């Protein structure tokens, strides 16, 4: 009598073997590989369609084509800026300071107001004060201390930096000492308080310095179901300065007035535009803004509009990765082979997450590069952003796709049916994004949806920055998410983790 000894060594049931098993299951279903390719392709294709519909098609007078679009000025940090104001300046050589009292800052009524224009109130961010600038070109480095329409005294420098002073001061002083510029304020001209200071590296010895005034566009937004439109009109502010005094060595004998940039109302006319001087009082009017540019037109992430479409494909794929095992009964084999049910789900999530991340990265990188290239060659002035931001947008998109696929997988394990899982994942992930972005919802509810639902993860695609010192329509249809990029991604990751946890609990408790 011989006893049977198995000649085959028992299979390892370690985690690497599980991953290998799940990977084999995944790669041997031809439909799923096709779906992966479709997901990447559809991101690119939707982007291409949006690029095809976004060429500058305008015909100038006498049938001539428009001049090629000129990108606006960019600041010292490379970000797009507006830089238009009226500037009464002299060259300050070396160290020195200038002091003024802002006697008045008021709105200038336009010669021909459009119906509906509010021409009686000063813009909250109209600015009048002192500025020292690297040169008079748009976008060059500067530091300024100013009185604003309704935000008190501000010290601002290099477009993106803003520091609040008091709300009552009228006296302003700007001091240069080497590369350091310091702004002071005073209510009476004797007691001075420092508002802020900054280093402007590489400031030349001789710099234009003096008084400035400007007033930003007044924008109104009207939103209807499915679309929104912004309309705006340029505003002009007039300011008068007195008690002007200077220290240090100054280049010219008198103040020289000129417009920097091309604010819409920057005409020098008889009605107070330009610089006038009577006694010790200087009066001038200006239009425009010294601030970072805002607005959701032609963002770099516009190339990734197809993300939601790729997401739908990956949601279907993710939920099927589990639900088909239930439908075919394969799940019983799987769980017999590896009785640690939680580990099975973890292996599935890892395989699916890894594969969808790689495919998502290929899709989003291709879409980003190709579509933005086409848009630029079509004359669309696509906004320039830092390389780090571009990488964050592209890689973040891939992370959103991978997390969403894992979320759908968890939903598939919870529902054990494809239909229920797909409906749940789409209602939670895709629809809030669409309702908010396509302007189908008013801004308030749209922002709440993008805070609490997993669709918050799309915030990682936002390349625009929100600035407290610029009034603009910071709303989802315009490219602004309510949560910061990484915050939004954390919300999505939390939803995915909770869903996966629920799936693990349920798969352990229930019969397969």
Partner 1 sequence: MRYALHAEWTKLRTLPGLGWLPLLAIALTVGLSVVASAAVSCRTGCDQDLTQVSLTGVDLGQAVLAALAVVVISGEYGTGMVRTTLAAVPRRPVVFAAKGVILAGVVIPVGVVAVLCSVLVARTTLPGAGVVLSEGSTVRAIAGSVLYLALVALLSYGIATVVRDSATAIGIVVFLLYLFPILAQVVSSPDWQRHLRQIGPMNAGLAIQATKHLDRLPIGPWAGLGVLTAWAAGALLAGVLLLQFRDA
Residues lying near partner 1 in the complex (CB under 8 A) are found at: 46, 49-50, 52-55, 57, 222, 224-227, 297-298, 302, 305, 308-309, 312-313, 315-316, 319-320, 323, 327, 380, 417-423, 426-427, 430-431, 434-435, 437-445, 477
Structure tokens at 299: 């963002």
User: What's the token pair of residue 420?
Assistant: 């229920």
118 vs 271, beta carbon nearer partner 1: 118
Dihedral Cα 395, 384, 467, 56, nearest 10 deg: -110
Question: Any idea how long the chain is?
Answer: 512
CB 176 within 8 A of CB 150: no
Q: What is the 3-state secondary structure (H, E, C) of 44-83?
A: HHHHHHHHHCCCCCCECHHHCECCCCCCCCECCCCCEEEE
Rg (CA), the chain: 30
The conformational region for residue 159 under phi > 0 = left, psi -120 to 50 = alpha, else beta, is: left
Complex with partner 1: residue 58 or 494, whichever CB lies closer = 58
Residue among 207 and 421 whose Cβ is closer to partner 1: 421
- Please check whether residue 48 is in contact with residue 311, taking contact to mean a CB–CB distance below 8 angstroms: no
Min separation Cβ 53 and partner 1, Å: 3
Residue 166 DSSP one-character state: -
- Closest separation in Å from C-beta 296 to partner 1: 10
What CA–CA distance (Å, rounded) separates 113 from 134? 36
CB of 54 or CB of 148, closer to partner 1: 54
355 half-sphere exposure, CB direction, 13 A CA radius: 27
Nearest to residue 77, comparing CAs of 322, 323, 387, 361? 387
Cβ–Cβ < 8 Å for 414, 510: no
Q: CB of 480: closest distance to partner 1 in angstroms?
A: 14
Q: Which C-beta is closer to partner 1: that of 50 or that of 148?
A: 50
Of 78 and 113, CB closest to partner 1: 113
Find residue 180's DSSP bridge partners.
177, 199
Q: What's the closest the beta carbon of residue 75 comes to partner 1, in angstroms?
A: 25
Smallest gap, in angstroms, from Cβ of residue 260 to partner 1?
Answer: 29
Name the minimum Å distance from CB 319 to partner 1: 6
> Which helix or strand (DSSP H or E) is residue 25 part of?
helix 15-27
E-state strands within 187-294: 193-199, 206-214, 218-224, 227-233, 236-250, 256-260, 276-278, 281-286, 290-292
Other beta carbons within 10 Å of 247: 13
Neighbours of 225 (CB within 10 A): 10
Nearer to partner 1 by Cβ, of 26 and 212: the residue is 26
**Helix, strand or coil, per DSSP, at residue 16:** helix
Select 337 or 427, whichever has its Cβ closest to partner 1.
427
State in angstroms the smallest separation of the CB of 175 from partner 1.
45
Distance (Å, rounded) from C-alpha 357 to C-alpha 394?
A: 11
- Cβ distance to partner 1 smaller for residue 106 or 431: 431
281-286 and 290-292 as β-strands: parallel, antiparallel, unpaired? unpaired
Closest contact distance (angstroms) between CB of 299 and partner 1 is: 9
**What is d(CA 127, CA 144) in angstroms, rounded to the nearest whole number?**
10
As measured in angstroms, the least distance from the Cβ of 467 to partner 1 is: 23
Return the number of the residue (97 or 397) whose C-beta is nearest partner 1.
Answer: 397
Find the shortest distance in angstroms from Cβ 498 to partner 1. Answer: 20
In whole angstroms, the minimum distance from the beta carbon of 391 to partner 1 comes to 22
Residue number with CB closer to partner 1 (47 or 196): 47
Residues 6+ apart with CB under 8 A from 298: 54, 375, 380, 381, 382, 383
């Amino acid at each position: 009598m011989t006893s049977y000894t198995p000649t085959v060594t028992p299979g390892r049931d370690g985690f690497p073997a599980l991953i290998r098993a799940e990977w084999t299951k995944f790669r041997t279903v031809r439909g799923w590989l096709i779906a992966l390719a479709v997901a990447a392709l559809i991101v690119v294709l939707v982007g291409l369609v949006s690029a095809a519909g976004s060429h500058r098609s305008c015909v100038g007078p006498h049938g001539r084509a428009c001049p090629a679009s000129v990108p606006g000025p960019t600041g010292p940090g490379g970000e797009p800026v507006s830089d238009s104001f009226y500037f009464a300046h002299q060259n300050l050589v070396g160290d020195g300071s200038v002091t003024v009292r802002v006697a008045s800052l008021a709105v200038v009524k336009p010669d021909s107001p459009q119906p509906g224009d509010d021409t009686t109130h000063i813009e909250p961010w109209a600015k009048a004060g002192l500025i020292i600038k690297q040169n008079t070109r748009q976008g060059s480095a500067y530091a300024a201390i100013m009185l604003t329409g309704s935000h008190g005294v501000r010290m601002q420098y290099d477009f993106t930096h803003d520091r609040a002073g008091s709300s009552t001061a009228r006296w302003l002083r700007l001091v240069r000492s080497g590369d350091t510029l310091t702004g002071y304020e005073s209510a009476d001209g004797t007691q001075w308080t420092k508002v802020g200071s900054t280093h402007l590296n590489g400031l030349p010895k001789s710099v234009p310095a003096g008084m400035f005034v400007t007033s930003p566009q007044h924008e109104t937004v009207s939103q209807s179901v499915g679309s929104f439109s912004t309309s705006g009109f340029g505003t002009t502010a007039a300011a008068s300065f007195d008690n002007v005094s200077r220290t240090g060595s100054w280049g010219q004998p008198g103040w020289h007035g000129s417009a920097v940039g091309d604010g819409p109302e920057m005409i020098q006319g008889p009605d107070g535009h330009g610089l006038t001087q009577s006694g010790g009082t200087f009066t001038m009017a200006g239009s425009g803004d010294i601030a970072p540019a805002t607005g959701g037109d032609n963002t770099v992430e516009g190339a990734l509009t197809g993300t939601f479409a790729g997401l739908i494909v990956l949601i279907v794929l993710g939920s099927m990765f589990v639900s088909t095992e239930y439908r075919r009964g394969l799940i019983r084999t799987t769980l017999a082979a590896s009785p640690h049910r939680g580990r099975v789900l973890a292996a599935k999530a890892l395989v699916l997450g890894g594969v969808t991340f790689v495919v998502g990265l290929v899709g989003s990188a291709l879409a980003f590069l190709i579509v933005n290239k086409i848009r630029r060659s079509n004359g669309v002035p696509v906004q320039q952003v830092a390389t780090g931001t571009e990488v964050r947008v592209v890689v973040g998109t891939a992370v959103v796709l991978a997390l969403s696929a894992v979320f759908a997988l968890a939903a598939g394990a919870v529902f054990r049916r494809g239909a229920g899982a797909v409906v749940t994942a789409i209602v939670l992930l895709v629809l809030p994004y669409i309702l908010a972005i396509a302007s189908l919802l008013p801004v308030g509810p749209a922002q709440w949806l993008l805070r609490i639902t997993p669709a918050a993860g799309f915030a990682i695609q936002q390349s625009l920055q929100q600035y407290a010192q610029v009034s603009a329509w910071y709303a989802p249809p315009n490219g602004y998410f309510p949560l910061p990029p990484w915050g939004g991604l954390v919300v999505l990751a939390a939803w995915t983790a909770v869903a996966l946890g629920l799936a693990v609990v349920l798969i352990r408790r229930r019969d397969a």
